[in-house]
Amino acid sequence: MGQYWKVVNLDKREFVLPHKLGVGLKLGEQVGSGHGTPDALFILVAAMRDRRGGGDFDWDSNYYGPERTSQYPMGAPVVDEYNGIAKSVIGRWAGDRITVVGDYSEDGDLPSSPVPFGSLYGMLLEDDDEDIKKIKKKDRWTDISDLVAKVIEHEVGGKFEGDGWKTFKRK
């Protein structure tokens, strides 16, 4: 069966669910997976508070998003909704304590963890069970997968489709 993994920000109590980004939970399924958790991590830890050069992500002008057309060859206006998402996601985890936690993790694997590391994976299940929802709410853990997915969709030009384990489709 193998060990399953999730990306976690210990400081902000946020996490990313690989299935929402179109990849499996095993390490080998996440690395080299296309537009999944590696892209999400890179976006989240980029210490970028504004655009400074070519190749940076959109948020003040649109070089990559779907709104760019031949009418706007040097960058279309950025859709306001995306602009707010981009500013809240890009660099959101820069400088924070980030780890990848597995379902076989034990407390001793990360002794400096501010929460019991051995039980962390179980608290972050992508489950609609009411008891699990209460635990997440009580401990204030937030799934930010959908926000990160919107940045990947815009910047790469595609869409995560489906329920549960999603699939990335390029436009």
Q: Where are the domains of the chain?
A: 5-170
The amino acid occupying position 100 is V
Instruction: Give the range with max mean pLDDT: 4-8, 31-35, 62-66, 137-141.
Output: 4-8
Q: What per-residue confidence (pLDDT) applies to 23?
A: 92
- Tell me the pLDDT tens digit for each residue of 72-116: 555 555 667 778 888 889 899 999 999 999 999 998 998 888 888
- Output DSSP code: residue 59: S
The number of residues in the chain equals: 171
> Collapsing DSSP states into helix, strand and coil, what is residue 14?
strand
Sign of CA dihedral 61, 21, 127, 95: negative
CB 35 within 8 A of CB 59: no
Q: How many CA atoms lie within 13 A of 170 on its CB side?
A: 3
Distance of alpha carbon 22 from its chain centroid, rounded? 11
Q: Give residue 146's identity as a one-letter amino acid code.
A: D
The answer to whether residues 39 and 168 touch, using CB atoms and an 8 Å cutoff, is: no
The tokens describing 98, both together, are 């980030």
Report d(CA 31, CA 23) in Å as an integer: 9
Return d(Cα 157, Cα 170) in angstroms, integer.
6
Looking at residue 98, its pLDDT comes to: 95
- Average pLDDT on 153-170 reads 87
How far is CA 34 from its chain centroid? Answer: 13
pTM of the model: 0.80
Check residue 31 and give its pLDDT. 86
